[in-house]
Amino acid sequence: MKKKLKKVLKDFWYGKPHGERRLGDLYIGNTGLYKHREWRGVKDTFYYFNKIWLYNYGGILMDIMRFGGPIIAVKGLLRYRWFGQTYLTALHWFDRGLEGMRGEVLRASAWHYRAMTCETIRQFMHMFRADTRLHGGKKNKWYYKTIMHDETVCGSVFYGYRDRMENIAMQLVPYFVTCHVNNHTVLHYIDAVQSIGLPGDPCPMCQAEAGLLVLDDVPDYSPVMITSNEACDASVATSVLHDWFLNKPLISMTQPMRFNDPLVHEYTMNEIKEAWKFIEEQMGEKPDFDVYVEYTEKYNELTKFEHEKWDVAANTPYYPINGVAQALYRIYYSQVGYREIWAKTDAKVKKILNKCVEQKINTFPMTRHRVLAWSCAPLYFSNWCTWAYNCWGLNVIMNMDSLMFDIVLRTDNEEDALFDLARYHEMAPMRRMAVGGHEHIFEIWENLERFNCDMVMMYDQLQCKGMQGIVGLFEDEFRERNIHAIWMPHALPDKRTVSRAEIRSIINDYMFTVMREEPLDPSLLDFDDIMSW
């Protein structure tokens, strides 16, 4: 009895150890929603309640106040489906991504989530502030000082205007972030574009982006639009629909499919110049090289710290960031470009990282396999890697898209700066490795070695024609190299093609039948979360 009481008190104070937690028992049947939140021990539970729940609710309110105020936010809430359906559920996004996390991993990962939340609010509040639809059709000063562009046009292209103008990606907040926070919202947009006759087989990412326009669910916040063909031909078709629905001056800043040729690189440089010329003609502003240098050098510091993090992740067990926080934060900030919130977050995370290294804290002690996630991920289930660690001890060390944009940009003179900016732009998500030539997608082998991974989670985007064409090549290489690879079929934002439960079942089957292993937490093997966010 005394021993049992001692165990109960220990579990109360520290939380149950991995293997006894039974996190699946927290879920309400057939939903994947929580009956109550996890007890992580006194210290981590109070940290979660105070520094994650209360802090982020307070932070959300503060961000809304400082980026435009509650009145314009309520107007946006009532006007745009994606805002009301998605961002009111943001804290559940934290819960999923941080499930089972303790100690320094909980803290470092949560700061990444907080940064993305803050930047998302800044973007949609700026959209609302400039939106003619929320101001009786009037075009205010914000409207004329904002550049609208595709989410796949990197923010670095616009550094030279940052002292006078804003640039906001049209689909990043209404589409891309929504997939991760609430996987239901985006389905309306896919259905909408198919309802006007678009076949269901093109990339669902492009379908969803176009569906925003079909449902008239995008703020009108800029006099211009800059589109891109990234990553594939479906994006080209999306640009045509953008031109049709937006009905405003538009330029397509296209990227080459193969970008190692110097002549092709010169083409990319000219495309960037044409975009700058377009902005000057339409908005009367030229890029300022000194301003470009200022923001580029700040961004370079983020890249240098990223390399430090990768070095710790590759060579030690002391890396305090889980797979989903690492991937989403890296993709988000590298695509958006420098913002002050990224520097503040990196400063906080650096302290945690240094502590883990100095004190030799094994941050993922239940790791059985170090996993490299490759190709394009399922946007509706980005937190699968949190589940995989809790259930099976699969620790996702690195994600393919995190490796994009991996250069320090030169700023010593305008010619070199433009050269590097073009090379950076060519390394956009999905372009460099997914459809940029087989030699790039096969960078997987060197990264397996670089990050000391013994397993690959191979994303299989069922509607990506480029990736489907080389499945056999990967299979041959996996067999020849004796690499364990789990193929994860999915349809980017559309969970109806392959559900999250099906993805978990595929991983379960592989771990049971091929790896001959037993789960760390059997309660997570089988549950239905089709209705959850």
Predicted pLDDT at 465: 64
Q: Measure the CA–CA gap between 279 and 283, rounded to whole angstroms.
A: 5
Q: Can you tell me whether residue 219 is helix, strand or coil?
A: coil
Q: Cβ distance 404 to 330 under 8 Å? A: no
Q: Measure the CA–CA gap between 130 and 135, rounded to whole angstroms.
A: 8
- What is the chain's percent helix, strand, coil content, to nearest 5? 60, 10, 35
Q: Determine what percent of the chain is predicted with pLDDT higher than 70.
A: 95
Higher pLDDT, 30 or 526: 526
Tokens of 474: 């990967």
Q: What is the largest CA-CA distance in the chain?
A: 81
Domain spans, the chain: 2-524
Q: Measure the CA–CA gap between 323 and 530, rounded to whole angstroms.
A: 22
Q: Please enumerate, as own/partner, the contacts of 512-516 that have beta carbons within 8 Å and a separation of 24 or more.
A: 514/484, 515/484
Closest by Cα among 379, 380, 418, 371 to 398: 371
Q: How far is CA 248 from CA 174, 251, 338, 408, 513, in A?
A: 20, 10, 28, 35, 56
In which residue are the tokens 């069922």 written? 462
Query: Predicted confidence band at 310 (pLDDT cuts at 50, 70, 90)?
Result: very high
Report whether pLDDT(166) > 90. Answer: yes
Tokens of 324: 């989903």
Element at 70 (helix H, strand E): helix 70-79
Q: Measure the CA–CA gap between 225 and 204, rounded to whole angstroms.
A: 22
Residues in the chain: 533
- Give the contacts of 529 (CB within 8 A, at least 6 positions apart): 27, 31, 32, 33, 500, 501
Predicted pLDDT at 45: 94
Q: Can you tell me whether residue 9 is helix, strand or coil?
A: helix
Tokens of 281: 């003609």
Sheet holding 225-227: strands in order across?
A: 166-169, 146-149, 225-227, 250-252
> What is the per-residue pLDDT across 195-205, written as a single tens digit (0 to 9) for each?
888 777 778 88
User: Side chain identity at 493, as an amino acid letter?
Assistant: P
> What is the per-residue pLDDT across 317-328, written as a single tens digit (0 to 9) for each?
999 999 999 999
Tokens of 4: 């049992």
Report whether pLDDT(356) > 90. Answer: yes
Q: Cβ distance 520 to 18 under 8 Å? A: yes
CA atoms within 13 A on the CB side of 113: 31
Closest by Cα among 207, 170, 171 to 190: 207
**Phi, psi angle pair for 166, to nearest 5°:** -110, 155
Tokens of 427: 């390394």
User: Side chain identity at 130, as an amino acid letter?
Assistant: A
Choice among 243-257, 428-442, 461-475, 504-518 with the minimum mean pLDDT: 428-442
Element at 485 (helix H, strand E): strand 484-490
**Phi, psi angle pair for 465, to nearest 5°:** -65, -35
> What is the per-residue pLDDT across 369-387, written as a single tens digit (0 to 9) for each?
999 999 888 999 999 999 9
Predicted pLDDT at 201: 72
Report whether pLDDT(256) > 80. Answer: no
Report whether pLDDT(122) > 80. Answer: yes
User: Side chain identity at 388, as an amino acid letter?
Assistant: A
- The pTM (predicted TM-score) of the whole model is 0.94
Q: Can you tell me whether residue 116 is helix, strand or coil?
A: helix
Q: Cβ distance 152 to 428 under 8 Å? A: yes
Tokens of 117: 């939340």
Q: Measure the CA–CA gap between 528 and 256, rounded to whole angstroms.
A: 42
- Give the contacts of 515 (CB within 8 A, at least 6 positions apart): 484
Q: How far is CA 128 from CA 85, 125, 189, 282, in A?
A: 16, 5, 20, 22
In which residue are the tokens 């435009």 written? 68
For residues 448-455, give the mean pLDDT: 96
What one-character DSSP code corresponds to residue 305?
H
Predicted pLDDT at 429: 65
> What is the per-residue pLDDT across 479-524, written as a single tens digit (0 to 9) for each?
999 999 999 999 889 999 999 999 999 999 999 999 999 999 999 9
